[in-house]
């Protein structure tokens, strides 16, 4: 493929944008090479500035569950845009989407719209702290909750020590209030809670980890956390920014029958416009201003374009439950096809899937938490990534991201992808 225009744009972009990109993973740092500049997309296809076409397995990192430029979503945005792009005053649309979400998710009585998943997670822990009067938060190594200071923390030297900032600019003061546990290890969490008795405000996690590949929760893990939080008066926050309305209409909570105290959303609920939200139990959400003392606000929160897009997409998902069955079948076909190719060529891999989130770890180990995910062969991943890109298949440019399928993928797209994968794997010999 010819990437002349993308290369020129990347060169230009680096003069005026840090690293040439507005979010680091787009820079292809973990796979090498030049990021592709996209000019348009439709359904399951991305088109770049050189006119190359790709089958898309990122779906804008989640939102495009029904594919790009979905006609009803586009029409809703166009219609509302003609009436202005923001009012800074309440609208009926905000009630519509709030009602839809609260009806879809049993544990969510009230919901507040924000502008990104990052903002949703930052706000949720603030509310949990305000509500409990406690300071500490437990998160899991490898789970991503956006770039709020409290989440950019690594495990300290021992499991029971305080966390350490993983980015300059995060203060040790912030780090000391974030405790890091091992994903899928209930004992580890229980120990942290015991050592920090009556100090832990919240436990936050991705119910299906989607930012260290795709790692499903072990049997009993979510239920165990639920009981622990109940016993200890801790707010359980499920970060469903990725899983919400993707793994099932009611998200991972519906799939695993676990109810959180607070839930965060993003991605799909905005259908590709900048949206996040946090919601949950009435008594906790009433702690939020203006009813309660915990301050949180946003000039563009509940933006009409974003609400119209999100509402249109969510309504389609609600009214067409077969979409989830179709996505399940497509995802199973892809995952099984790719797994078979790897097996035929004796390439060790650990394969995971929850609905339309698919993970392939190039490792001979089982993967239940970050340290195991980290054994994946990153050089091999980079080769496969570029081999697929060359053949017109756009996989996430990082070994720590899951594939996110959209329902606009056709059987032909999937067959083509599996064939391309087979060619790439065969060419590695
Ligand atoms: C993407 C993501 C976020 C951050 O959302 P942004 O909109 O990028 O700020 C938070 N949590 C999870 C689980 C995510 O996948």
Read off the pLDDT of residues 382-412 as tens digits, 9 standing for 90 and up.
999 999 999 999 999 999 999 999 999 999 9
Rounded distance between C-alpha atoms, residue 355 and residue 254, angstroms: 13
Which residue out of 65, 146, 396 has the highest number of ligand 1 atoms within 8 Å of its CB and is therefore the one to mutate? 146
What percent of the chain lies above the pLDDT cut of 70?
98
Q: Is the separation of the CB atoms in 31 and 381 below 8 Å?
A: yes
For the beta carbon of residue 341, count every other beta carbon within 10 angstroms. Answer: 20
Using one digit for the tens of pLDDT, what is the confidence trace for 44-70? Answer: 999 999 999 999 999 999 999 999 999
* Virtual torsion, Cα 28, 275, 202, 249, nearest 10 deg: -100
Active site residues: 144, 239, 267
Q: Which residue owns the Cα nearest ligand 1 atom 8?
A: 117
pLDDT band at 155 (very low <50, low <70, confident <90, very high): confident
Tell whether the model's pLDDT for residue 233 goes beyond 50: yes
Cis amide linkage into residue 290, ω under 30° from 0: yes
Ligand 1 binding site (Cβ under 6 Å of any ligand atom): 116-118, 121, 144-146, 206, 210-211, 239, 241-242, 266, 276
pLDDT band at 429 (very low <50, low <70, confident <90, very high): confident
Mean pLDDT, to the nearest integer, of 93-101?
Answer: 98
Tell whether the model's pLDDT for residue 157 goes beyond 60: no
Nearest atom in ligand 1 to 146's CA: 4
> What pLDDT does 158 receive?
53
Q: Which residue owns the Cα nearest ligand 1 atom 15?
A: 242
- Strand ordering across the sheet containing 110-114: 110-114, 276-280, 262-266, 235-239, 200-205, 136-140, 178-181
pLDDT band at 159 (very low <50, low <70, confident <90, very high): very low
Residue 209 pairs in a beta bridge with 215
Q: Give distance in angstroms: CA of 161 to centre of ligand 1.
A: 26
* Cα dihedral across residues 395, 397, 398, 401: positive or negative: negative
Q: Is the separation of the CB atoms in 224 and 217 below 8 Å?
A: no
Using one digit for the tens of pLDDT, what is the confidence trace for 247-295? Answer: 999 999 999 999 999 999 999 999 999 999 999 999 999 999 999 999 9
Rounded distance between C-alpha atoms, residue 170 and residue 154, angstroms: 11
DSSP 22: S
Nearest atom in ligand 1 to 276's CA: 7
Task: Please list, residue by residue across 40-51, b when 16 or more beta carbons sit within 10 angstroms of its beta carbon and e when fewer do.
Answer: ebebbbbbbbbe
Using one digit for the tens of pLDDT, what is the confidence trace for 329-365? Answer: 999 999 999 999 999 999 999 999 999 999 999 999 9
Tell whether the model's pLDDT for residue 195 goes beyond 50: yes
Residue 164 pairs in a beta bridge with 154
Determine whether domain 4-69+321-427 maps to CATH 3.40.50.300: no
Mean pLDDT for all residues in the chain: 96
pLDDT band at 162 (very low <50, low <70, confident <90, very high): low
Q: Which residue owns the Cα nearest ligand 1 atom 11?
A: 145
Using one digit for the tens of pLDDT, what is the confidence trace for 76-95? Answer: 999 999 999 999 999 999 99
Pairing of strands 53-56, 262-266: unpaired
CATH class, range 71-319: alpha beta
Q: Give distance in angstroms: CA of 145 to centre of ligand 1.
A: 6
Q: Give distance in angstroms: CA of 251 to centre of ligand 1.
A: 15
Q: Give distance in angstroms: CA of 315 to centre of ligand 1.
A: 22
Mean pLDDT, to the nearest integer, of 156-160?
Answer: 55
The domain ranges of the chain are 4-69+321-427, 71-319
Tell whether the model's pLDDT for residue 372 goes beyond 90: yes
């Amino acid at each position: 493929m010819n990437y002349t225009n993308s290369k020129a744009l990347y060169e230009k972009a680096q003069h005026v944008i840090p690293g040439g990109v507005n979010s680091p993973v787009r820079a292809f740092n973990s796979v090498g090479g030049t990021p592709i500049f996209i000019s348009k997309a439709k359904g399951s296809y991305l088109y770049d500035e050189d006119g190359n076409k790709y089958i898309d397995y990122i779906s804008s990192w989640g939102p495009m569950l029904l594919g790009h430029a979905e006609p009803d979503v586009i029409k809703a945005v166009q219609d509302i845009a003609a009436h202005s792009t923001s009012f800074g005053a309440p609208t009926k649309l905000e009630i519509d989407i709030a009602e839809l979400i609260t009806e879809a998710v049993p544990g969510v009585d009230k919901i507040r719209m924000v502008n990104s998943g990052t903002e949703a997670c930052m706000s949720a822990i603030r509310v949990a702290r305000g509500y409990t009067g406690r300071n500490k938060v437990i998160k899991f190594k490898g789970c991503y909750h956006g770039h709020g200071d409290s989440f950019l923390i690594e495990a300290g030297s021992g499991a029971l020590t305080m966390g350490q900032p993983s980015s300059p600019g995060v203060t040790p003061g912030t780090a000391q209030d974030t405790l890091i546990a091992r994903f899928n290890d209930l004992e580890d969490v229980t120990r942290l809670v015991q050592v920090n008795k009556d100090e832990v405000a919240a436990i936050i996690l991705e119910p299906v980890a989607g930012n260290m590949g795709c790692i499903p929760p072990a049997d009993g893990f979510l239920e165990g956390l639920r009981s622990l939080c109940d016993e200890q008066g801790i707010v359980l926050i499920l970060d469903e920014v990725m899983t919400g309305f993707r793994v099932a209409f009611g998200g991972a909570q519906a799939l695993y029958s676990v109810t959180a105290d607070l839930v965060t959303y993003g991605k799909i609920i905005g259908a590709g416009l900048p949206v996040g939200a946090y919601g949950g139990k009435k008594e906790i959400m009433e702690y939020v201003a203006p009813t309660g003392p915990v301050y949180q606000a946003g000039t563009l929160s509940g933006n009409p374009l974003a609400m119209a897009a999100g509402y249109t997409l969510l309504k389609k998902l609600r009214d067409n439950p077969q979409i989830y069955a179709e996505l399940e079948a497509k995802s199973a076909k892809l995952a099984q096809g790719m797994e078979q190719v790897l097996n035929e060529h004796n390439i060790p891999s650990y394969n995971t899937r929850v609905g339309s989130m698919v993970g392939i770890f190039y490792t001979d180990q089982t993967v239940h938490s970050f340290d195991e995910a980290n054994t994946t062969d990153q050089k091999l991943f980079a080769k496969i990534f570029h081999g697929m890109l060359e053949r017109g298949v756009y996989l996430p440019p990082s070994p720590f991201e899951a594939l996110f399928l959209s329902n606009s993928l056709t059987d032909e797209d999937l067959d083509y992808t599996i064939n391309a994968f087979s060619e790439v794997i065969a060419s590695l010999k």
